[in-house]
Amino acid sequence: MVTTHIQFARATVNFVWQRLMVIGLVEPYDGFDLLRLDPKKIPAGWTVQPANPELLQALAEDFRASNYSIHHLIKSIMKSSAYQLSTSFPGQWKDAYIPYYARRFARVLNAVEIADVIAQATDTPYALVQNGKKLTQVKQLTDPFNLANRGGRGASDGEQKPLYAMMQAYFVQERNLPPPEKNVATPVQAMVLMSSPVVAKRVSPEGTTRVANLLRSGKSDDEIVAELFLATLSRQPTSEEVEVAKRLIAEDRKGGAESVQWALLNSVESLLNH
């Protein structure tokens, strides 16, 4: 029974690790070979399967000791130095470094992440309803597919169809269909996001969007640009970016501010987990 519990813990740890780190300790994450996991018991001439068997075992034992708490496991991984590495690498990169997690591997955000990032960056939450309860984030829904229709559940403000259409470009699927292993950037995603009314509504200089609130706040152009970058990309703009953004705002204050956040949301940097 103990062995079975550890095997379950290893499989769960590897699945969560793959989801957070892009590449699992065992690839594919559900392709375990039980005879190749322990370097001390491996048959002669065979190779060890995990990239770091000691780490896999330590995480599995910690996961079991926490009473199989996924929350505890995710926090442990996210607090690790491996998770917090930058995607940049100082020096010449070699594919042989991949198993050692020498840098973070960038990935395209999934459909739910994209939707919620847009709402958070623009400070314009969704009006979602599930079982009579009001929600503001897509990730709070039991099944994002309900946005398409399903008896009126989903967004209550009339934008459920364009929201779901945008998410479809990022491979959101029904529960009875297997999700893709990893999201891959496509031209369709870029075209859908650039023309989505979900984005256009949230970068508008009117109403209660972040852009509208900043324009009414009396802040300087430099402060507006800085906040838009921090809210959308979680970093300060470079001097070149400030120059371009301020030029747009100087030409048309409302339209310029709107264009800055629209461009940031449609940038590669905004759509990658890195």
pLDDT digits (tens, 9 = 90+) for 150-161: 444 444 456 777
Residue given tokens 């152009």 in the structure block: 221
- Given a cut of 60, whether residue 176 has pLDDT beyond it is no
**Percent of the chain beyond pLDDT 70?**
88
Buried/exposed code over 171-184 (b: 16+ C-beta within 10 A; e: otherwise): bbeeeeeeeeeebe
Residue with the larger pLDDT of the pair 182 and 110: 110
Q: Between 1 and 40, whose confidence is greater?
A: 40
Q: Which residue has the higher pLDDT, 167 or 255?
A: 255
Query: What's the first-to-final CA gap in the chain, in angstroms?
Result: 39
Region 88-113: mean pLDDT is: 84
2: pLDDT strictly greater than 70: no
The two beta strands, 128-130 and 133-135, are antiparallel
Averaged pLDDT score across all residues of the chain? 85
Choose from 127-136, 179-188, 240-249 the range with maximum mean pLDDT. Answer: 240-249
Residue 5 has pLDDT above 50, yes or no: yes
pLDDT for the residue numbered 168: 80
pLDDT score for 32: 87
154 φ, ψ (degrees, to nearest 5) = 120, -140
**Peptide bond preceding 187 in cis form (omega within 30 of 0):** no
Three-state DSSP class for 38?
coil
Q: What pLDDT, in 10s, does the model give residues 213-262?
A: 999 999 999 999 999 999 999 999 999 999 999 999 999 999 999 999 99
Between strands 272-273 and 154-155, the pairing is: unpaired
Q: Say which residue, 83 or 246, is predicted with more confidence.
A: 246
The answer to whether 59 and 17 have CB atoms below 8 angstroms apart is: yes
Taken as a whole, the chain contains a residue count of: 274
The reported pLDDT for the residue numbered 6 is 85
